[in-house]
Amino acid sequence: MKLLSLSIFVVIIAITLGITYWAAQRTRTASDFYTAHGNLGPVQNGFALAGDWMSAAAFLGFSGLAALYGMDGSLYAAGALVAFLAILMLVAEPIRNTGRFTLGDVIAFRMQRPQARLAAVLGTVVVSLAYLVPQMAGGAALIKLLLGVPYAISIVGVGVGMLVYVVFGGMLATTWVQIIKAVLLLGTAIVLVALLLAQFGFDPLAVFAAAEERYGPQILAPGNYLKHPLDQLSLGLSFAFGTAGLPHVMTRFYTVPDAQTARRSAVWLMFLAGAFFLVTTLIGLGSAALVGQDVIRAADKGGNLALPLLAQYLGGGHGSIGGEIFLAVVVAVAFATILAVVAALTLSTSSAIAHDLYVNVMRGGQVSEGEQVKVARIATLAVGAFAILFGLLAQGINVAVLVILAISIAASANFPVIVLSLFWRRFNTAGVVAGMTAGLVSSVVLAMIGPAFMGADALFPIVNPAVASVPIGFLGAILGALLSRRDPVSEAQFDEVIFRANTGLRDDASTGPAHH
């Protein structure tokens, strides 16, 4: 039985590794490595974006929260539905038109000072590592469930798989793994929901009724997890602004040839991810009703294994052939999901270190294509090592909670700086540094002293710090700009930014920092 499960798992992973080998043969230049040469169509990039967004948090964390905390968990899924509206309406086109490889390009083109690019590197690295850790933890929990491998060894396995994808295949491999993974994920969700509804006469309301019958009406009431009155507002702010500050999502808009394709990619993403998120609450409540909260907590106290355990139950239960096969398929798809997401995160982080820090700050842009790709691959190895280290510390914490905390950091640090760089003439390098610092420090500190990490002993009462840290990030950026000298260079560049953001016209041979 274990051999059959392992075989199914290995086949699915082997397919993604085959894609990586194919992509490695086609990854030669920096543009290939960072952006797949910018030639993806809207459907391809939309599926890849959906693959980025439908991460371990969506597949495991959201359904786990719904299983353990009922409708409070469903708010995490509902928030994800509107997460890309700000991207579609506000920043997708300007970022596509003003940058080249990284978010640092957008900021540095305005400011043309190394301090601004260094601040962008800091924001990218911190957010990406914060987002990486829960993906690593989710992958390790899955391997432990399927194969019985200890958590620590599982974390190392996830890290090695991630490094193989990125170091050899770059963005092209990551993109195609994301696309295939998104298709597998959506297909698995459809089968899982169909089998679940078959248990209840294909009546979705019966799933809610079964959960209520087993755990009482409180499971369908608010306040089981988000206990503070501002928790829900804070969660919404994180989704609304934080997604537009996630480096691995934003850099996907450099993989398309023009701004119209970027917008169409976002529309495809909203439909694909929206369809998926609609069912995570159903899956979570179904897990609570059929598998039981005690069993879910026994497998993983954060609730991250609710969905795989439901798949095993619907396939015939523990020990049955059907149950083990369905469990193996779900775990393999989820693991491929996690590998693809951590690959994208690692790529965006290594791109910031290699392109922004090494090429543009340390070497002044005087680096060959081959050397730039080599440095990016070395940076990838370093990022992978840190991700493994932090992943070891995340055992037992719900991955959705950790991901939303990462999105809070992005909303507080990256989003204010990006928006003000694009739309405020007076903004300058001092504003970038002050805003990034204020947003990072406030969001990380408030998260660490909040209920997500300190439980009942929390010093800050709100699970998600965005309601406080986002205003602090904006305030720091605005005060930093107003209290410092006006920068004639950044103000002069503002007209060029507005022109490029709205037309997409530019000369890539120009000497601006965005085009080294």
pLDDT of residue 321: 72
pLDDT tens sequence for the chain (516 residues)? 567 667 777 787 777 777 767 766 665 555 555 555 556 778 888 888 887 777 766 778 889 989 999 988 888 777 767 777 777 777 777 877 776 667 777 787 788 778 888 888 888 888 888 888 887 887 787 777 767 788 888 888 878 877 776 666 566 666 777 788 788 888 888 999 999 999 999 999 999 999 999 999 999 988 888 888 888 889 888 888 888 888 877 777 777 777 778 788 888 888 888 788 878 889 999 999 999 999 999 888 878 889 989 988 888 766 577 777 777 788 777 777 777 777 777 777 877 788 778 877 787 777 777 787 788 778 888 888 888 888 887 776 667 677 778 889 899 999 999 899 888 999 999 999 999 999 999 999 998 898 877 878 889 998 889 999 999 999 999 999 999 988 888 888 888 888 887 776 655 444 343 333
pLDDT of residue 11: 81
Question: Measured between alpha carbons, how far is 354 from 30 in angstroms, rounded to an integer?
Answer: 10
Question: Measured between alpha carbons, how far is 271 from 489 in angstroms, rounded to an integer?
Answer: 41
pLDDT of residue 398: 66
Question: Measured between alpha carbons, how far is 391 from 86 in angstroms, rounded to an integer?
Answer: 30
Q: Determine the length of the chain.
A: 516
Greatest alpha-carbon span in the chain = 71
Structurally, the chain folds into a number of domains equal to 1
Residue 39 lies in a domain: yes
Residue 268 lies in a domain: yes
Residue 414 lies in a domain: no
Residue 60 lies in a domain: yes
Residue 422 lies in a domain: no
pLDDT of residue 512: 40
Residue 165 lies in a domain: yes
Looking from the CA of 151 toward its CB, the CA atoms found within 13 Å total 14
Residue 455 lies in a domain: no
Give the 3-state secondary structure of residue 186. Answer: helix
Domain that residue 362 falls in? 2-24+31-400
Question: Measured between alpha carbons, how far is 481 from 351 in angstroms, rounded to an integer?
Answer: 27
- Tell me the CATH number at 349: 1.20.1730.10
Residue 450 lies in a domain: no
pLDDT of residue 473: 96
Rounded to two decimals, the pTM is: 0.78
